[in-house]
Amino acid sequence: MRVQTMPDRQQQLGDTSPEEFRKQLHELADWIADFRENLGTLPVAPNDKPGAILAALPAKPPEEGELFEEILADVDQLLIPGMVHWSHPMFLGYFGWTTTAPAILGEIITAPLNVNAMTWRTCPAATELETLVVDWIRQWMQLPQEFGGVVYDTASVGVMHALAVAREEAAPSVRKLGLVGAGAPVFRIYASEQAHSSAEKAAIALGLGEGNVQRVPTDAHFCMDASALRETITRDTRNNYKPLAVIATVGTTSTASIDPVSEIAKMCRDNKMWLHIDGAYGAGFAILPENKLLTSGWSEADSIVVNPHKSLFVPLDFSVLYVRGLERLRRVFTLVPEYLRGDTVEAQKNYMDYGIQLGRRFRALKAWVIFRSFGRDGMAARLREFVRLANVLGQWIKSDDRFELAAPVSMGVVCFRFNVGDENKSDQFNSEIVERINASGRAYLTQTKLSGGTVMRVGLGNVLTTEDHLRKAWEMICQTASELNREK
Ligand SMILES: Cc1ncc(COP(=O)(O)O)c(C=O)c1O
């Protein structure tokens, strides 16, 4: 077989030749398998100054084509060392991460298909597979059949769409006339102090005003205080605000705490408010039958978001928004321009009608590959292992009196603090432990603030993380804390 040289390639139009492409794919398959096998030996995170990677890359765009081998060599030499490796077994930041072999295979199959799933007609298989996997997740989450879903990139986009429907139902014609034209009142949205900032982002995007997102205090376990919510709604109503929606979180970003959804649902019913459940992280844990209680009150929600890219092993990005009666979402966003009309006939569902986006990737395929490869049982077993590991770490923390848990261990999340003995120095001390460990490239943790104080945070969610890895990370935390103590 003759290997193509650059001059050959420059002379031809069209794509890489089939023989050369096959050869590149085989090389890439080895590259991926090697990467995955050796990942644990790489530094988890770089320790470069901002701009270092950019400085190593040519600023001028390429005039002539380059060989794939040269490009892949630059990935190895310039990009891989500049990455935080979220799939690394010692990556314990955020909620852990969801890279798995079936997920990589799913992404690879999707790449050559590269369809646009905007309408049913533009790719029936993509539309129908999306409907199927969204319904599989619904069944796993034990949501009633009246909930229909749509796949977006992120939960932030999901909550924005949900609140757009809430806004339209509370002030019909906003879609057509805008807030002022429709004579809309000043709406208020409620979310706990621990809820994600996507609530404010949605309010900004929808013209509701970030200041109209009212943060409700939480209890000692960082769950929304239902009586504080009731008081806030009463006060707002008295002051002529119009309570629009409550965002209840199942698995908050810092501590994975769970708001009292059933109680909140009752308040929403009494006050004719929209109930959105932010289950971006936590809702995936409903696939565990022992978590039946987790889903209490969900069937009363108007919308619920879950990020399988956080807890159900699908790689970024894949987030599902469910609405009780998906038609409510369609009514707000359907708009068919003439140039698409021909492609919308005959369809049961055109996903472009269910949001802002027109062009849509075939995201359902990767989810389908993973769900079939692991089955619910396989995913549940892995989630149980994350929960087990989180509790193991919780026990280590409890049995070392230099440390304390800063929140109850919930799902795969552990928040804790080193007791410095001097409250004024505590924040900086805990923050420095995390920064030193992350700079070492040997593990990666995050930090957050709870009750005004900085705490360390570990998220278990990587299939490659074992108890040995966790033990190493714990030893590193203890050792770094001792070193810092000696230096102070
Ligand atoms: C509870 C919660 N909601 C929403 C989000 C936003 O998720 P996304 O990045 O998918 O927009 C996050 C992100 O961590 C989260 O923790």
Confidence (pLDDT) at 1:
43
Amino acid at residue number 287: I
Separation between Cα atoms, residue 401 and residue 393, nearest integer Å:
14
CA of 199 to the centre of ligand 1 (A): 10
Whether 410 and 383 have beta carbons less than 8 Å apart is answered as: no
Residue 48 is given by DSSP the state P
Neighbour tally for 134: CB within 10 Å: 20
Neighbour tally for 401: CB within 10 Å: 7
Give pLDDT tens digits for 338-384: 888 877 777 779 999 999 999 999 999 999 999 999 999 999 999 99
Ligand 1 pocket test target in 154, 317, 321 with most atoms within 8 Å of CB: 154
First to last CA, the chain: 66
Separation between Cα atoms, residue 440 and residue 92, nearest integer Å:
14
Confidence (pLDDT) at 292:
85
115-130 burial by CB neighbour count: b if 16+ within 10 A, else e? Answer: eebbbbebbeebbebb
Taking the CA of residue 252 as reference, the ligand 1 atom at the shortest distance is 1
Confidence (pLDDT) at 98:
83
451-471 burial by CB neighbour count: b if 16+ within 10 A, else e? Answer: eeebbbbbbbbbbbbeeebbe
CA of 155 to the centre of ligand 1 (A): 6
- C-beta 319 within 6 A of ligand 1: yes
Confidence (pLDDT) at 8:
56
Categorise residue 272: left if φ over 0, alpha if ψ from -120 to 50, beta otherwise.
Answer: left
Separation between Cα atoms, residue 203 and residue 82, nearest integer Å:
35
Rg, Å, the chain Cα set:
25
Confidence (pLDDT) at 421:
81
Separation between Cα atoms, residue 279 and residue 248, nearest integer Å:
8
CA of 372 to the centre of ligand 1 (A): 25
Strands 242-249 and 274-279: parallel
Residue appearing with tokens 């609530």: 199
CA of 319 to the centre of ligand 1 (A): 10
Question: pTM here?
Answer: 0.95
Separation between Cα atoms, residue 145 and residue 178, nearest integer Å:
33
Confidence (pLDDT) at 362:
97
Ranges of residues in the chain whose predicted pLDDT is under 70: 1-11
Residue 3 is given by DSSP the state P
- C-beta 432 within 6 A of ligand 1: no
Confidence (pLDDT) at 137:
98
Confidence (pLDDT) at 299:
95
Give pLDDT tens digits for 126-180: 999 999 999 999 999 999 999 999 999 999 999 999 999 999 999 999 999 999 9
- C-beta 344 within 6 A of ligand 1: no
C-alpha dist (Å) from residue 289 to 81, 142, 286, 370, 380: 41, 10, 7, 20, 9
